Amino acid sequence: MADSPADKLAEQMATAPILGPGHDYASVTDKISAIVLKRRPPKWWWVGFAIAFALVMLMLYSITYLLLVGVGIWGIQVPVGWGFAIINFVWWIGIGHAGTLISAILLLLRQQWRTSINRFAEAMTLFAVACAGLFPLLHMGRPWLAYWMFPYPDTMKMWPNFRSPLAWDVFAVSTYATVSLLFWFVGLLPDLATLRDRAKNPVAKVIYGFLAMGWRGSAVHWYRHETASLLLAGLATPLVLSVHTIVSFDFAFGIVPGWHATIFPPYFVAGAIYAGFAMVLTLSIPVRKVFGLEDFITMRHLDNMGKVLLATALIVGYGYMMEAFSAYYSSDQYERFMILNRMFGPYAAMYWCLILCNIVTPQFLWFRKVRSNVGALFAIAMVVNVGMWLERFVIVVTSLHRDFLPSSWGMYYPTRWDFALFFGTIGLFLTLLFLFLRFLPLISIYEMRALVSEEEKKAEG
Amino acid sequence: MKKTETIYGLMAEFTTAEQLLEAAHRTHDAGYHRVDAFSPFPIEGLADAVGFHRTRLPLVVLAAGIAGGCSGFAMQYYAAVVSYPINVGGRPLNSWPAFIPITFEMTILFAAAAAVFGMLIMNGLPTPYHPVFNVPRFALASRDRFFLCIKARDPMFDLELTRKFMATLNPREVSEIEP
């Protein structure tokens, strides 16, 4: 039995290294910093950047038109007033959860395999939160008055409504963006010093030197740096859970059928982790390929991420089940109608697509063969990205379009401007990502050196 | 002794983390206290070895977190009870459960900012100029080399004796640091 191919594969996967063989401090440093310090970016970088940047232009165009004409250019209409803006906001912010999860929770759990993907995932978090933040801002109708949401001593003598989840959201998302940025910078600091010391180009040397703030790797500095990193991880862990909880309150505090449920906070948080890991997989698979980083982002990483994806898929599946069950069990006619309308109403196709994408497809991840197949993992992650978007569409639209009074029912049809802005933000996300890949180390170099040291110790016994 | 005033200290270079750790211990045992060690990644016990035992950073973070939470709650209390009280069907003005989310977020925001800026300030960063960078090979401290520095400010410091002592630590080389 022990010799069957499946068992051999199992053994290989369990002992697979989190770092390729034959690496020392110098080689990990040189390999990762060379990506940034190379004089010219490769051709595919220009092609990818050009496409992404074209989409940013589309975004700017659609924002400009929106500001000129108003939110009427979107498909939102009574009774569906939320539409794409909120769907995309929740989708992006969900994606933005993996970074902090990987860098904070997995750090506290001492999961060493996080080292080579955390920097990348944190950058992804920042860019996703930037995209997310645009939507509620533009959905306001008069974005130039956005500062009214913040408590400041104004001449109107008014305050934001602190009892409203929408005001909580302002604080949650802005805190999350700030803390993620700070956490990211703290991790970058020693690597910026490495780039300063390795850069040949005088301009690059000055810029990296400025950003590195004179970091010199002193033992005392490292000690405080480690302390700060651990404290930040401890602070970011409840923060990351709170953010999507508060986003779910935006829904759960309303009495709309299908939203007013206590399952919402945990179900949203699990969905966010699910979406975030799917996006990390979607991005890390091509990145490790084009940069030849198979030694650093190994099959073990992909396997682990596949497992996290499967586990969160099951939690999300439980959430869908409980939604249907509590609708039935509540004996509330509006709740019961909502779930039937969701499954068999005009948007039934979206609902079943979402079940197919989020519940059925990830079941393939039970098989080790699938988790060790890079192409299959990429395909599944892509399907989950789509599925999580559909989930938010179903939650927002099916609950709003037929709530209580049949006389106020309606349908929601997105317009081309909805799509333009959505694809535009994907462009913004990719543009920022391409710039990040070009100018900053995509893997934490100093943590990789520490990993080399640990591996050496292990090898010595 | 005269020359010691014109240099910042002596710098020894090592090739492994273990060598540096051992050298740091021996330097400290020999009675040098103005010592600093530099490494490309954090090494457990190295701060201890150069005589640095604990940081007040966690305390600062705790204080900032408490201050953030209190100010977050106070702001909402002031807005809802003092500055702009609205009677909504006789419900209490100080509806504290609704104030919890923002109080929590402010706690985290203040604490995280204190952790980052506290770390930078305590470390004296940004440091626009530091003499250790005058050693040309010090650029490798951010790659694969390990350095130990005995500062000229140390009361035990004597250029010749200290240089001899450092040679006994098996360094790759010892160099003077221009101030």
Across the interface, whether the CB atoms of B106 and A159 are under 8 A apart is answered no
Name the E strands within B39-145: none
- Here the ipTM equals 0.93
Confidence of residue A461 (pLDDT cuts 50, 70, 90): low
Render pLDDT for A104-160 as a digit per residue (tens, 0 to 9). Answer: 888 888 777 778 888 888 999 999 999 999 999 999 989 999 888 888 888 888 889
Render pLDDT for A320-358 as a digit per residue (tens, 0 to 9). Answer: 999 999 999 999 999 999 999 999 999 999 999 999 999
Render pLDDT for A242-269 as a digit per residue (tens, 0 to 9). Answer: 999 999 999 999 989 989 988 999 999 9
Structure tokens at A200: 């040949």
Q: Does B129 touch chain A (CB under 8 A)?
A: yes
Residue A429 has a CB neighbour count (10 Å cut-off) of 24
Residue B104 with chain A: CB contacts under 8 Å: 238, 242
Across the interface, whether the CB atoms of B55 and A224 are under 8 A apart is answered yes
Of the candidates A300, A293, A374, the residue with the CA atom closest to the CA atom of residue A11: A300
Instruction: Give φ, ψ of B169 to 5 degrees.
Output: -85, 5
Of the candidates A161, A350, A354, A365, the residue with the CA atom closest to the CA atom of residue A271: A354
What pLDDT does B2 receive?
A: 47
Mean pLDDT, range B3-16, rounded to an integer: 81
What pLDDT does A6 receive?
A: 55
Confidence of residue A10 (pLDDT cuts 50, 70, 90): low
One-letter amino acid for residue A391 of the chain: E
Of the candidates A190, A274, A249, the residue with the CA atom closest to the CA atom of residue A447: A190
Asked if residue A27 has pLDDT above 90, the reply is no
Residue B71 with chain A: CB contacts under 8 Å: none
Residue B120 has a CB neighbour count (10 Å cut-off) of 20
Residue B151 with chain A: CB contacts under 8 Å: none
Query: Chain B neighbours among A 161-190 (CB < 8 Å)?
Result: 162-163, 165, 167-168, 171-172, 175, 178-179, 182-183, 185-186, 190
Domain A21-460 class in CATH: mainly alpha
Of the candidates A89, A104, A283, the residue with the CA atom closest to the CA atom of residue A180: A104
Query: With left for phi above 0 and alpha for psi between -120 and 50, is residue A74 left, alpha or beta?
Result: beta
Rounded to whole angstroms, how far apart are CA atoms B91 and A114?
A: 49
CB pairs under 8 A between A and B: 190
Q: What is the pTM of this model?
A: 0.91
Confidence of residue A15 (pLDDT cuts 50, 70, 90): low
Structure tokens at B112: 């995280």
Residue A215 with chain B: CB contacts under 8 Å: 125, 142
Q: Which DSSP helix (H) or strand (E) runs through A224? A: helix A219-252
Across the interface, whether the CB atoms of B40 and A29 are under 8 A apart is answered yes
Render pLDDT for A56-113 as a digit per residue (tens, 0 to 9). Answer: 999 999 999 999 999 999 999 889 999 999 999 999 999 998 888 877 888 888 777 7
A416 CB burial (10 A radius; 0-12, 13-18, 19+): exposed
Instruction: Give φ, ψ of B110 to 5 degrees.
Output: -65, -45
Contact A158, B84 (CB under 8 A): yes
How would DSSP label each residue in A127-166? Answer: HHHHHHHHHHHHHTS-GGGGGGGS----TT-----TTSHH
Q: Which of A20-24, A405-409, B134-138, B140-144 has the lowest mean pLDDT?
A: A20-24
A150 CA to chain B: closest CA distance, Å?
12
Per-residue exposure over B150-171, b if at least 16 CB sit within 10 Å of its own CB, e if not: bbbebeebebeebeebbeebeb
Structure tokens at A86: 């909120």
Residue found under tokens 């179903």: A394
Residue A217 with chain B: CB contacts under 8 Å: 38-40, 141-142
Mean pLDDT, range B22-48, rounded to an integer: 90
Name the residue ranges covered by the structural domains of chain A.
Answer: 21-460
Average pLDDT, chain A: 89
Mean pLDDT, range A216-239, rounded to an integer: 92
Across the interface, whether the CB atoms of A235 and B126 are under 8 A apart is answered no
Across the interface, whether the CB atoms of A223 and B47 are under 8 A apart is answered yes
Rounded to whole angstroms, how far apart are CA atoms A344 and A342?
A: 6
Structure tokens at A367: 């098989």
Confidence of residue A41 (pLDDT cuts 50, 70, 90): confident
CA atoms within 13 A on the CB side of A437: 23
Name every residue whose Cβ is closer than 8 Å to that of residue A456 and which is 6 or more positions away in sequence.
none
What pLDDT does B170 receive?
A: 86
Asked if residue A9 has pLDDT above 60, the reply is no
Across the interface, whether the CB atoms of A219 and B46 are under 8 A apart is answered yes
User: Which residues on adjacent β-strands are paired with residue B175?
Assistant: B11
Render pLDDT for B77-96 as a digit per residue (tens, 0 to 9). Answer: 999 999 989 898 999 999 99
CATH code assigned to B2-54+130-177: 3.30.70
Name the residue ranges covered by the structural domains of chain B.
Answer: 2-54+130-177, 57-122
The answer to whether the peptide bond before residue A79 is cis (omega within 30 degrees of 0) is yes
What pLDDT does A8 receive?
A: 58
Query: Chain B neighbours among A 220-249 (CB < 8 Å)?
Result: 220-228, 231-232, 235-236, 238-239, 242, 246, 249
